[in-house]
Amino acid sequence: MRLSKEEQRKIAKERIKILFRLAKEYLKKDLKLSQRYIELARKIALRTNVRLKKLKRKFCRKCNTLLVPGYTARIRLNKKHKTINVTCLVCGNIKRYPYYPKKH
């Protein structure tokens, strides 16, 4: 019996959520295992065409490390270019996200 696309995506989303929870749980105990969980979650998302929406900013796309401020990531605001700079402390990759300050 084959599952429909919607059922496959639903199962994939559940598994991705579980893998991210496990990655967070094992981050301080075993970094390599945590990276492997993120890698598996990304593979599942790619194969089933599931978007990672809010989870996208929670991991390094280069080394699959879960980004935790102060532990595996450094977060700085660049006022000149109006960006949030997130530096992975494992591989050194820098990701920049734009921000727009509130206008009063």
What does the pLDDT look like over 9-26, one tens digit per residue?
999 999 999 999 999 999
In this prediction the pTM is 0.88
Which residue range is the domain that position 85 belongs to?
A: 5-98
pLDDT exceeds 90 at position 104: no
**Residues with Cβ within 8 Å of residue 88, at least 6 apart in sequence:** 60, 62, 63, 65, 67, 72, 73, 94, 95
**16 within some domain:** yes
**104 within some domain:** no
Q: Count how many domains the chain has.
A: 1
> Residue 59's beta-bridge partner residues?
66
Q: At what angle do helices 31-48 and 5-26 cross, to 10 degrees?
A: 170
> Measuring CA to CA, how many Å separate 33 from each of 60, 64, 91?
15, 10, 16
**103 within some domain:** no
What does the pLDDT look like over 61-95, one tens digit per residue?
999 999 999 999 999 999 999 999 999 999 999 99
* pLDDT on residue 76: 97
More reliable by pLDDT, 102 or 86? 86
pLDDT exceeds 90 at position 44: yes
What is the residue whose two structure tokens read 């935790």?
A: 68
Give the C-alpha separation, 8 to 19, whole Å. 16
